[in-house]
Amino acid sequence: MGTRKKHKSQLSAKDIQLLYMIYQLRAVTYEQFKKLGNYTSKFYYYHKVQKFVRLGLIYKETITGSYQEGKRHQGNYVGITESGLSLLKEKDYKISHTAYNSRVNKKRLAYTLTANDLIIKMLRKGWSFREAREIKEEHDIHRGNTFQGVLTSPNKEDSYLLYALLHRVQGQTVDRIKYELTTQHKITDVLITTKGQDGFKTVVNSVTNERHPLITGGKALVLPHAFSAEYLTIFDGNVRKYEDFLKTYDIELLCKSPVEDSSENIFGSNVKCDYQIRYNGEEYYFVDMLGNDMMKLRDVREYKREDYKRDGRKMLVLTSAAGFHKEKQQEILGVMPHVEFLELNFSNMIKNVRYINKLFDKR
């Protein structure tokens, strides 16, 4: 047995699983490699990368593009080789693509690495991920579509088509996403993340453009990249966790399950909302806009003052003081006296989210 073959046979099950994750994610930075392997020692994970390279299982190359805006040297990334795929096949992993076809186009590298930052965070929180090639083949979606894959919550109730964008976003990029969403109807919930504030504004302005809005049959979350993982981990379909979060702001759910489509009142009008709640002794229709769901924002706009006068319930919109939340949402909604905003302190909200997640992790 050759030395290289001998060393391959000594790889642990964890090593093989790590190799398979590199295949699925297609391009992985050294830091992402460290998180995938749950390595704490910089020396150990660096040594592990070098070992995989020496065995011919992965290749390494220099990161190019705008993955880290303004940085001239962005480090290296790794990808799978044919030898690595052969080993995975020997271990009975399902492999559908060659190493050549798994290589990421240089123009898309920064997008892929950005998406992987979020994907790896969500994997560590119990979410699952299916990469774009697999989804496209299964649902007969055009190969040129630019989403990076699908993220699914631990209880399988929420699945998001993921578009991870960079610091700067061109209008035509968002137009392309809007077009792609009209060409497939299998996955109706979408998550669009951006790294920069300018890029975020470009996306929001484009998807809310009245002449050419983003239209999908489900949710359309538009979030800053850094906040998206925090949001998804608290609003992942776990009603008990979500209820605990709301209680920290003295919000009482009057029903324990979300309003699926609409809430029909005694007058027969349909009001689209998330829940009916009690806050400060008053009952409201409740819409959570922390996720910047552009479809929900449209529903809020449709709750007219005439509806409120007949019904008597105001609408309470949960948001935060962060620039990408209340300020932008109010700008889009305009003046609506029967819609009130509950504005959370953003940093305190993040602390609450992390605290509640830790409590549920221990249960």
What per-residue confidence (pLDDT) applies to 363? Answer: 64
- Cβ atoms of 82 and 102 within 8 Å: the answer is no
279 phi, psi to nearest 5 deg: -145, 130
| H/E stretch holding 32 | helix 30-36
Q: Is 129 helix (H, G, I), strand (E, B) or coil?
A: strand
Joined tokens for residue 46: 């660096």
Q: Where are the beta strands (DSSP E) in the chain?
A: 28-29, 58-62, 76-80, 128-131, 149-152, 159-164, 190-194, 220-224, 251-253, 263-264, 270-271, 275-279, 282-288, 314-320, 339-344
- Provide the greatest CA pair distance for the chain: 82
The full set of domain ranges for the chain reads 1-103, 106-235, 238-362
- Cβ atoms of 155 and 125 within 8 Å: the answer is no
- Return d(Cα 41, Cα 248) in angstroms, integer: 37
Q: Say what angle helices 239-247 and 346-362 make with each other, to 10 degrees.
A: 140
Q: What is the dotted CATH code of the domain comprising 1-103? A: 1.10.10.10
Express the helix, strand and coil content of the chain in percent, nearest 5 each: 45, 20, 35
| H/E stretch holding 247 | helix 239-247
What per-residue confidence (pLDDT) applies to 131? Answer: 93
What pTM was computed for the model?
Answer: 0.89
- Cβ atoms of 193 and 225 within 8 Å: the answer is yes
Q: Which residues of the chain have pLDDT under 70?
A: 1-8, 236-237, 256-270, 362-363
Region for 255 from its dihedrals, namely left if φ exceeds 0, alpha if ψ lies in -120 to 50, beta otherwise: beta
What per-residue confidence (pLDDT) applies to 134? Answer: 92
Joined tokens for residue 279: 């806050």
Residue where the block lists tokens 């998807």: 207
Cβ count near 323 (within 10 Å): 13
What per-residue confidence (pLDDT) applies to 258? Answer: 60
- Return d(Cα 352, Cα 237) in angstroms, integer: 17
Joined tokens for residue 358: 């830790």
Would you call 317 exposed, middle or buried from its count of C-beta atoms within 10 A (0-12, 13-18, 19+)? buried
Would you call 110 exposed, middle or buried from its count of C-beta atoms within 10 A (0-12, 13-18, 19+)? buried
What per-residue confidence (pLDDT) applies to 266? Answer: 40
Region for 163 from its dihedrals, namely left if φ exceeds 0, alpha if ψ lies in -120 to 50, beta otherwise: beta
- Centroid of chain to Cα 293: 12
